[in-house]
Amino acid sequence: MQVIPPLPPAHGTREEETNSRREGRLGPTEKTVDLLLAFWGILLAAFLLLRWEMVYLVLPILWLLFVAAFFFKPSLDIEVERRVPHERFLEGSEVDIELRIRAKERIPSLKVVDDIPEGLEVVEGSSEGVFSFRPGEEKVLRYRVRVKRGIHEFNWVKMAYSDPFGFFRAEKRVELYSEIIGVPIIEEVPTPYSTKGTKITAGPLPSPRVGEGVEFHAVREYRPGDPLKIINWKATARTGEIMVNEYESERKVDVIFVVDASYAGEPVLDHMIRAAASLMLNALNTGTSFGLVLAESVPLWIRPDYGKRHFFKCIDILSTARPDKNNLISYQVEHLIKSRFPARAQLVYFSTLLTKESREALKIMAGYGYRVVVISPNPYSGVEPDSREEELALKLLSLQRKATLKKMAAYGRIIDWDVRKPLKAAIAEVAP
C-alpha cells in the first residue's frame, strides 16, 4: 500500500517567491537602515546649519559599512548532513540527532537552525547553534529528542549569517529530508482468539479439524484410504475391527485486525494501537497470516500475509493512526467483508464501542458469520476525577458502558480492558 502525500500549491504567495529569489543574498538589517537615516539626517542638518564639519561625523559610519559590505560577504557555500541512528524507534525513546555543517569559506558567525517535526520534543541540547568557520572546517550540532508515535519528517536546515557589525544579514534554507517513525510500544500478550473455522494450511496453530497432526483426537473404524501408520493395534485387537487414531490437524488462521480510530476513542487510541501491534507480533511469532483495517475517513487496508516485512508495513500504518471525526466504520467494514476479507477468518476488533457506528460494525461482522474478539479499552479507566461531581459522572458513564458491553456480547467475545493494567491480564480474565 502506498500513501501519496498531498501536492504542493501550484503558486506560492508573492512574499514566498520574493524570499526565494533573495535567499542567500546579503541584505541590510534594521540597524543599517537606522544608521543610513541618521547619516542623511546629519547631512541635512549640516546643509541647513552650514556646519560642514558635521559631515566628518558620518565618515566612521561609512567606513564600517564599506568594510562590512566588501570584506564580510560570504556566499554561504555550505554542506549539511543530518545523521539519525536508524528510522524506527519505540514511542517514548530518546534519539540523538547530529547535524554536520562544513563550510567551504571563512564565515565569522553563522546561526544554524534544524527543522524539528511537531511530534518530537527536544530533551537535551538545542536544535540551533551559532558557529564560526574557517575554510573547510566542519562543526557538529548535537541534540536529543523524545519520539512520539507517528511519522516525523525533517525537511530543511536554515542558516543565517550576520556580519560582525550587524549591518548586513543573509539567510539560506537547505532542503534536507530525514524521517523518524515512532512505532507503538509492543508487549508480550497471549493469543485471545480461537482457531476454529480456519483455512487448511500446514502451520503451528492447532485447529479442531480432524486430519493428520500431532494431537490425539479420537479412535474410529478404519476407512479405505487411511494410512497404515495411524492404525491403533491395541484397539484393533480389543474390538476385532480395524481401528485407527484421529488427530487434530495443524492449521494456520487468517486473522484480520480491525482498528476503530473514531474520535470518541481518542483518550485510549494509543492503547488500542499498542494492543494491535502486540497481537501482530504474536501472530508473526506463531507464523499466523494477518491483515489490518485502520478505519479512518479513508480506510487503510492491508491484505493478510506473513513475515517481518509485512509486520513492519502494518506497524508503519498503525503509527500514523489519528482520531477521525467522520468515522464510517460500519460501511467500511461491510464493504471490505464483501470484497476483501477471506472466508472464515478470525476478526479481532479494537474499539471502545462508544459510538453507534462502532457497534453497528460489530453487528455486521457477526452477521456475516465471522468469529469476533473485541478488545475494548475502557476510556474512563485512566481518568482521575477532580471533584465529587466528576466522580459520580464517571461512575454513571462506566455503568452505561457495562450495560452496552453486556448487550454487545451477543455478537462477539468482548475483553473489557482497564488500561491501567496490562493487556495480557485482561485477556487472561476471559480466556476460553
Q: What Rg do the C-alpha atoms of the chain give, in angstroms?
A: 34
* Per-residue confidence (pLDDT) for residue 161, from 0 to 100: 81
User: How large is the average pLDDT for residues 258-283?
Assistant: 93
Q: Are strands 289-295 and 300-305 parallel, antiparallel or unpaired?
A: antiparallel
The answer to whether residue 155 scores a pLDDT higher than 80 is yes
User: How large is the average pLDDT for residues 303-315?
Assistant: 92
User: How large is the average pLDDT for residues 197-211?
Assistant: 43
Query: Cell 500513501 maps to which residue?
Result: 3
* Per-residue confidence (pLDDT) for residue 431, from 0 to 100: 66
Residue 246 neighbours by CB under 8 Å, 6+ apart: 210, 216, 217, 218, 219, 220, 230
Burial profile 18-42: b = 16 or more Cβ within 10 angstroms, e = fewer: eeeeeebebebeeebeebeeebeeb
Cell of 80: 549539511
* Per-residue confidence (pLDDT) for residue 112, from 0 to 100: 94
Question: Per mean pLDDT, which range of 51-65, 355-369, 405-419 is the poorest?
Answer: 51-65
Model pLDDT for residues 34-67, shown as the tens digit of each residue: 666 777 776 777 777 777 767 666 667 676 666 6
Question: Per mean pLDDT, which range of 197-211, 250-264, 280-294, 295-309 is the poorest?
Answer: 197-211
* Per-residue confidence (pLDDT) for residue 22, from 0 to 100: 46
The answer to whether residue 215 scores a pLDDT higher than 70 is no
User: Using CA atoms in the order 55, 57, 60, 65, what is the torsion angle rounded to 10 degrees?
Assistant: -70
The answer to whether residue 25 scores a pLDDT higher than 70 is no
* Per-residue confidence (pLDDT) for residue 2, from 0 to 100: 36
The answer to whether residue 12 scores a pLDDT higher than 80 is no
Confidence of residue 366 (pLDDT cuts 50, 70, 90): very high
If phi over 0 gives left and psi between -120 and 50 gives alpha, with beta otherwise, what is residue 18? Answer: alpha
The answer to whether residue 252 scores a pLDDT higher than 70 is no
The answer to whether residue 197 scores a pLDDT higher than 60 is no
Distance CA 405, CA 359 (A): 10
Residue-level length of the chain: 432
* Sign of the alpha-carbon dihedral angle for 392, 394, 395, 400: positive
User: How large is the average pLDDT for residues 27-31?
Assistant: 64
Question: Per mean pLDDT, which range of 72-76, 329-333, 380-384, 415-419 is the poorest?
Answer: 72-76
User: How large is the average pLDDT for residues 258-274?
Assistant: 92
Confidence of residue 385 (pLDDT cuts 50, 70, 90): confident
User: Using CA atoms in the order 255, 260, 261, 264, what is the torsion angle rounded to 10 degrees?
Assistant: -160
Q: Residue 113 is which amino acid? A: V
User: How large is the average pLDDT for residues 351-375?
Assistant: 94
- Is the Cβ–Cβ distance between 45 and 54 less than 8 Å? yes
User: How large is the average pLDDT for residues 184-191?
Assistant: 90
The answer to whether residue 4 scores a pLDDT higher than 60 is no
Confidence of residue 392 (pLDDT cuts 50, 70, 90): very high
* Per-residue confidence (pLDDT) for residue 206, from 0 to 100: 45
Question: Per mean pLDDT, which range of 21-35, 224-238, 377-391 is the poorest?
Answer: 21-35
Distance CA 351, CA 359 (A): 9
Residue 222 neighbours by CB under 8 Å, 6+ apart: 231, 241, 242, 243, 244
- Is the Cβ–Cβ distance between 357 and 328 less than 8 Å? yes
The rounded mean pLDDT for the chain is: 82
* Per-residue confidence (pLDDT) for residue 223, from 0 to 100: 81
Q: What are the structural domains of the chain?
A: 18-25+73-183 (2.60.40.10), 205-251 (no CATH), 254-429 (3.40.50.410)
Confidence of residue 287 (pLDDT cuts 50, 70, 90): confident
* Per-residue confidence (pLDDT) for residue 195, from 0 to 100: 54
The answer to whether residue 353 scores a pLDDT higher than 50 is yes
Residue 404 neighbours by CB under 8 Å, 6+ apart: 353, 354, 359
* Per-residue confidence (pLDDT) for residue 207, from 0 to 100: 44
- The percent of residues in the chain predicted with pLDDT above 70, rounded, is 77
Phi first, then psi: give them for residue 118, nearest 5 degrees.
-60, -30
Closest CA to 291 of 301, 278, 277: 301
